[in-house]
Structure 1
């Protein structure tokens, strides 16, 4: 048996702001998008180097203000990449915690992503 990593589902309200944040600021790519028709809510998958997220406009799929923990390596390089973008809505710090170093960002729908390089 093999259980794959969980894929967080995060709710969003503004497609343009969501794309600016996830694609522009975080550097993720869209893997696929789905709408039942032209007026239906959007559901899509974005990813970057092993991290996969599902983003949804559908009521009931997820609760805004959720949090996802994202283990990673290269946290200093990632932090520098984000701060170099000078994104006006997020200026994350690099925090030392007992379990590792962490960069936390908040998307336009108040969902938090905690990127953490865990201690050895």
Structure 2
């Protein structure tokens, strides 16, 4: 029985990752792991029911991945993010021909997070 998919996204700078994912998007850090103090970081973040892993390990994943996150309250999330005045990103909401509204965010490492909901919601 399948239960959950957890995407792994590549990062290169821990401070930038935390600024984007924790301070800007509002994810919580569940745990961080290193095999030794100077080795790459691997961590789990959650926001609501969404779980993602961030990794500095070169063999875990490739930069420039894209994930799609279905949600409700897209406009409220957009307002919250806009109010934070994050200096590197000013996302908008796009209405798609396939009847979704989408807000695409690109993290500091080239990974894309597409938050979306049905236009009929």
**Does TM, scored on the shorter chain, surpass 0.5?**
yes
Alignment of 1:1-120 (within 5 A): 1=1, 3-97=2-96, 98-119=98-119
For the structure 1 residues 83 and 15, does the alpha-carbon distance in structure 2 shift closer, same or farther, using more than 3 Å as the test? same
In 1, the alpha carbon distance for the partners of 2:41 and 2:118 equals 34
Instruction: Please list every run of 5 or more consecutive structure 1 residues that lacks an aligned counterpart in the other structure.
Output: none
Taking the aligned partners of 2:119 and 2:25, their CA distance within structure 1 comes to: 23
Compute the TM-score of the two structures, normalised by the length of structure 2: 0.95
Question: Normalised by the size of structure 1, how large is the TM-score?
Answer: 0.95
Residue 34 (structure 1) shift = 0.3
State the 1:118 CA deviation: 2.6
CA distance in 1, matches of 2:45, 2:34: 15
Structure 2, unaligned runs of 5 or more? none
CA distance in 2, matches of 1:70, 1:99: 16
Root-mean-square deviation (Å): 1.0
For residues 51-101 of structure 1, the C-alpha deviation after alignment (integer angstroms, 9 at most, x for no partner) is: 110000001101001000101111010110111111011100011112311
**Aligned-partner Cα distance in 1 for 2:4–2:81:** 25
Looking at structure 2, the residues matched to 99 and 6 of structure 1 have their Cα atoms a distance apart, in angstroms, of 25
CA–CA separation in structure 1 for the residues paired with 2:102 and 2:66: 14
C-alpha separation in 1, matches of 2:35 and 2:106: 28
How many Å separate the matches in 2 of 1:91 and 1:4? 34
